[in-house]
Amino acid sequence: MEDSFEDLISSYIENKVGISEHFLSAELANHLKQNLFDLNDKSLLLAAGIGNSEKLSYDGAIRSDSIYWLDKKHNNVFENEFFDKIDAFILYLNESCYAGITGYEFHYSLYEAGDFYLKHLDQFKNNPSRKYSMISYLNSNWKEADGGELMIHQENNNQKIAPTQGKTVFFKSNELVHEVLVTQNTRMSITGWLKSD
């Protein structure tokens, strides 16, 4: 477990973008993907908004994915296994990097063919509590022709990251402008933020 944590931290220190190729096991990723499909079949996913609860708006010209917020109160065994992994990573991050993370929030994200999310930062202007962004992908057999890459914009160093199953990406929420390129296939992830209140 700590190997995947160290992969995230060391690559983040090197390039401002942490990547672990196998943060989620194939077994856990498959269970989470099935949960997402079940929720979608029950029409429980909602159109994703822009901004937080104080300034929430919806604009399909900016982002077109659907989301479902995870919560330990749902008492889903596989989502709780995911939360256990996040709890362990936060403990490791706080102990090794003095990050001061005190909480988090995560949601499923579903992009259908043609969906996208234009350039944005993850930290709200009226609330700086989001410190780090984390995205864990649930897409097996993803091909380059499927598109849907995470494009991270850095000066002289744009980085295009394929959303392949098990991979987790980690970066500072207030630093890196990023976007989700148009996907040609159903694209699934768990997206969230490590917070410091």
Other beta carbons within 10 angstroms of residue 108's beta carbon come to 25
Task: Give residue-wise pLDDT tens across range 107-151.
Answer: 999 999 999 999 988 776 666 889 999 999 999 999 999 999 999
Q: Is the pTM of this model over 0.85?
A: yes
Angstrom distances, CA of residue 131 to CA of 101, 120, 136: 8, 15, 17
Task: Give residue-wise pLDDT tens across range 159-168.
Answer: 999 999 999 9
The two most distant CA atoms of the chain are separated, in Å, by: 44
Residue 11 belongs to domain with CATH number: 2.60.120.620
Q: Is residue 183 part of a domain?
A: yes
Burial class (CB in 10 A: 0-12, 13-18, 19+), 20: buried
CA-to-CA distance for 122 and 138, rounded, in angstroms? 21
Q: Is residue 156 part of a domain?
A: yes
Q: Is residue 57 part of a domain?
A: no
Burial class (CB in 10 A: 0-12, 13-18, 19+), 188: buried
**What is the residue whose two structure tokens read 């994200």?**
109
Domain count along the chain = 1
Q: How far is CA 47 from the centre of its chain?
A: 16
Task: Give residue-wise pLDDT tens across range 67-113.
Answer: 999 999 999 999 999 999 999 999 999 999 999 999 999 999 999 99
Q: Which residue range forms the structural domain that includes residue 90?
A: 2-49+62-195
Question: Mutual orientation of helices 2-15 and 77-97 as an angle, nearest 10°?
Answer: 50
The continuous run of DSSP H or E covering 104 comes out as: strand 103-111
In this predicted structure, which of 9-18, 98-107, 123-132, 181-190 has the lowest mean pLDDT? 123-132
Q: Is residue 56 part of a domain?
A: no
